[in-house]
Chains A and B, each alone.
Chain A
Amino acid sequence: MRRWWIPAAGALALISVLLGAMVGPAGPTWWRVPLALLDHLPLISIDSGVTSREWTIIWDIRMPRVVLASLVGSMLSLSGASYQGVFRNPLVDPYLLGVAAGAGLGATLVFTLNRSGSSTWIIDPLPLSAFAGGLLAVLVTYVVGTAFGGQKSASTLVLAGVAVTALATAVQTFVLQRHTDVVRQVYSWILGRLSSATWGDVRLVLPYVVISSAVLFMHRRLLDIMRVGDDEATALGASVNRVRIVVVIAATLGTSAVVAVSGLIGFVGIIVPHAVRLLAGASYRVIVPLSLLMGASFLIIADIPGRVLQNPSETPIGVVTAFLGAPFFLLLLRTKQGTR
């Protein structure tokens, strides 16, 4: 039974990619899109009836957006699941821990320091600065949250995350007040945007997502061991602190990179892992690969109404996920408090 989840989620991801490529204003008739994609595979030749202008819409406008959505969705879901694992706290995700706000602050600083001036750099400073901000935020959240509430308190960590988020956002606002020239740019970025995605954005985040996912994937068995608590995990021979540090750094690196290109897209890291737990059980051996696949599908699909509604001007993806995620979080808070 359980072994079917991963192929099923893989198939769902593939369907989501196709769906994402088929829907949108302008472009060819929807059923021609899969044919056109097949036609461009090596060794396959199909007359799809798609003009080269239409192909440009599919390949240069829709596909980068779909691929970026899948990378962002995967990364946020996987990071959320990993944070929940190492902090043994079902309520945390990249946003509630302050990682996203910290990364946002880091990214804002790059914007205000004139991003175009850094275009000649070998490595784009945007993800790195976001990473520094995100890592700092998660460290402060963790230290403050555990210092006051102890390891056992789920809500203290979340409250600390809220405080860190507020602080980072306040600093960000302060910085923006002094650099009004980039306000528009930063504001549209904050709302979460996949709409202006290019293959360049995909290339920018891909290495971070791959490295971070690979590290987290390799820790899936250890995340199961972390669930029995630091003492018992240590007695079982696990290096608890090393696992926690490596997982937090990997999850923060991936989150920060995707935040740097896609802006603040909230609640993905909490909705997807919990949906996976409900469906396929609570072992991280299943949660990790499934979060990766389902996260991709979730964000591609969540991005579709944004493109269709209010056509031609778009609903930011961050608004869609918050609309779905906030009630979900409250529901989760209620059930978790009830069992405590």
Chain B
Amino acid sequence: MTSLQFSGVGVRYGQHDALNNFTDTVKPGEWLCLIGPNGAGKSSLLRSVAGLAKHSGEIRVDGSPLRMRSAKRRAQLVAYVPQSPVLPDDMTAREYVVLGRNPFISHFGTETKHDWAIVADVLKRLDLVDLAHRPVGTLSGGEKQRVVIARAIAQEAPILLLDEPTSALDIGHQQQALELVDQLRKEHGLTVVSAMHDLTLAGLYSDRLCLLHQGYRVVSGTAAEVLRQETLAEFYGVSARVHHAEDGTVVVIPYRQGSNGN
């Protein structure tokens, strides 16, 4: 299992600081969920780990700096699922999933039997065998999300980054996708960093939440520690009650001002 350390990480787009001085350590096998309103810097943080945003400071994987790695080596360590992945309509699910093997294939090489065996295995475990030869354009939203996760798993990277993995899904498929990620991380010992908008789901699945606001890290801790009514009001500007269920689940329930809010 692999740890991920941030020390003083900043991301700047032109004159705008999207992320400032972010310091944190994601423990091996931990699921860290980044929360915060739009523009808080969640995506910038994930993109800096994936090598898509220039950053200051240092990101280390198991203690060694990521910036020293080649793009290929980085991709062997970090798999990234963007907020809205590009799925070429006419590519089959299997053709799409095998793209995840790129970090292990030389520039002009082709996939080996080993690569195809891994793809077959991933398709089987994610229940995609029947869809393997379907063009991804014909798949439903939930199926597409499974195919995208399958590509990331085929990458066999110890760190999995998910940017809003469930934002396009209905409540049932949200649960299925997150259960799948949780199951896979336990099987493979993955370290997961995700950005999520649904605070209840974020608290339900991750080990730790980290709240970002306007590029700054505000607070980090368990769902019960971070999801507090005053905190949400201050940083999201939302009127919401926080309900603690008996099993420890923290539920965030928005309410309308002037109605039955407390």
Query: What interface size band does chain A fall in?
Result: 20 to 34
* B71 lies within 8 A of A234 (CB): yes
Interface residue A25 (Cβ < 8 Å from any Cβ of B): no
Interface residue B102 (Cβ < 8 Å from any Cβ of A): yes
Interface residue A238 (Cβ < 8 Å from any Cβ of B): yes
* A218 lies within 8 A of B100 (CB): no
- Closest residue to B99 on the A side, CB-wise? A225
* A236 lies within 8 A of B90 (CB): no
* A227 lies within 8 A of B88 (CB): yes
Question: Contacts A235-B52, A237-B75: A221 and B92 contacting too (C-beta < 8 A)?
Answer: no
**A181 CA / B260 CA spacing, docked (Å):** 91
**A283 CA / B73 CA spacing, docked (Å):** 25
Q: 0/1 per residue, B25-68, Cβ < 8 Å to A? A: 00000000000000000000001001110000000000000000
Interface residue B121 (Cβ < 8 Å from any Cβ of A): no
In the complex, what's the smallest C-beta–C-beta distance from B6 to chain A, in angstroms? 18
**A277 CA / B88 CA spacing, docked (Å):** 13
* B88 lies within 8 A of A236 (CB): no
Question: Contacts A222-B107, A237-B76: A277 and B90 contacting too (C-beta < 8 A)?
Answer: yes
Q: Which residues, 118 to 138 on B, are CB-close (under 8 Å) to A?
A: 135
* B80 lies within 8 A of A235 (CB): yes
Interface residue A228 (Cβ < 8 Å from any Cβ of B): yes
- Closest residue to A239 on the B side, CB-wise? B71
Q: Which residues of A contact B76 (CB under 8 A)?
A: 237
Interface residue A314 (Cβ < 8 Å from any Cβ of B): no
Q: Which residues of B contact A238 (CB under 8 A)?
A: 71, 102
Q: Which residues of A contact B96 (CB under 8 A)?
A: 228
In the complex, what's the smallest C-beta–C-beta distance from B82 to chain A, in angstroms? 6
Q: 0/1 per residue, B233-249, Cβ < 8 Å to A? A: 00000000000000000
Q: 0/1 per residue, A276-289, Cβ < 8 Å to B? A: 01000111000000
**A172 CA / B177 CA spacing, docked (Å):** 59
Q: 0/1 per residue, B6-21, Cβ < 8 Å to A? A: 0000000000000000
* B52 lies within 8 A of A236 (CB): no
- Closest residue to A1 on the B side, CB-wise? B133
The 23 listed contacts between A and B (C-beta, < 8 Å) are A222-B107, A224-B91, A224-B95, A224-B99, A225-B102, A227-B86, A228-B85, A231-B82, A232-B82, A232-B86, A234-B52, A234-B71, A235-B50, A235-B78, A235-B80, A236-B75, A236-B100, A236-B102, A237-B71, A237-B72, A237-B74, A281-B90, A281-B92
B: residues with CB less than 8 A from A are 47, 50-52, 70-76, 78-80, 82, 85-92, 95-96, 99-100, 102-103, 105, 107-111, 135, 155
